[in-house]
Amino acid sequence: AQSVTQLDSQVPVFEEAPVELRCNYSSSVSVYLFWYVQYPNQGLQLLLKYLSGSTLVKGINGFEAEFNKSQTSFHLRKPSVHISDTAEYFCAVDSSYKLIFGSGTRLLVRP
């Protein structure tokens, strides 16, 4: 069965600094990967997804992620964060009509 690991439960960072949120998945023949964001008191919304093709995927709000098959990783990055990026971020992998989510990483952006 597929699984997703987000090792960092919380990542504090100063405004305008770069950030990387880590995600590792269990290997599979084919894999579809997603990053979702949850702002306070809201549901989740899609940031970006990898289905095939280019390993560098660009999403909304300046985020991007790189699919690395050899390291089974799909880390999320942003070169310069804003206060408004404070939220919880979930990595997910497709598994037969279902999504398997990681435990989430809370990004705290400080002024």
**Using CB under 8 A, which of the segments 17-25, 61-69, 72-80, 94-102 binds other proteins?**
94-102
Question: Does 98 participate in binding other proteins (rule CB under 8 A)?
Answer: yes
Q: Are 67 and 57 in contact (CB under 8 A)?
A: yes
For other proteins, which is the closer residue by CB, 15 or 75?
75
**Using CB under 8 A, which of the segments 11-19, 35-43, 62-70, 78-86 binds other proteins?**
35-43
Question: Of the candidates 43, 53, 70, 111, which one interacts with other proteins according to CB under 8 A?
Answer: 43
Q: Which residue has the tokens 């909304």?
A: 60
Question: Does 54 participate in binding other proteins (rule CB under 8 A)?
Answer: no
Q: CA-CA-CA-CA torsion for 1, 22, 80, 37, nearest 10 degrees? A: 40
In 3-state terms the chain splits into helix, strand, coil percentages (rounded to 5) of 5, 50, 40
**Residues 6 or more apart whose Cβ sits within 8 Å of residue 56:** 64, 65, 66, 67
Question: Does 94 participate in binding other proteins (rule CB under 8 A)?
Answer: yes
Question: Of the candidates 42, 54, 70, 111, which one interacts with other proteins according to CB under 8 A?
Answer: 42
Question: Does 90 participate in binding other proteins (rule CB under 8 A)?
Answer: yes
